[in-house]
Amino acid sequence: MSVLDTLEGNLIIAAGAMVALAGALLLVRIWRGPSMLDRAVALDVVAALITAGIGVKAAWDRDPFYIPVMLVLAFLGFTGSVGIARFIAVRDRPRPAPLKGDRR
């Protein structure tokens, strides 16, 4: 085993540890998020974090099989984020001001 192989293994382990730490911090944000928008952004980051974790596994195994899986997950995460953002935008839209003389 050469020095480069050892360095590569250590870097992949460090990347896995960073993904795990980011996952723990993300769970805190989902749990304590003060608004629905914070939770929606955190769920978007979950998709990115899962994609990063699969990327670490692909690097560890040196297997290109996971690349299309990562692309599909990234696409699903993006479309989910757009859907959640549209839902929040519709829900948080301000109501129009009442007309003059309207007694509602």
The full set of domain ranges for the chain reads: 3-91
Q: How far is CA 94 from CA 10, 37, 58, 79, 83, in A?
A: 52, 16, 46, 25, 19
Query: What mean pLDDT is predicted for residues 23-34?
Result: 86
Question: What pLDDT was estimated at residue 61?
Answer: 92
Q: How far is 62 from 80, CA to CA, in rounded Å?
A: 29
| Predicted confidence (pLDDT) per residue in 37-63, tens digit | 778 888 888 899 999 999 999 999 999
Res 66 pLDDT > 80: yes
Q: What is the average pLDDT score of the chain?
A: 86
Residue 12 identity: I
Read off the tokens for 99: 């007309």
Helix (H, G, I), strand (E, B) or coil at 78: helix
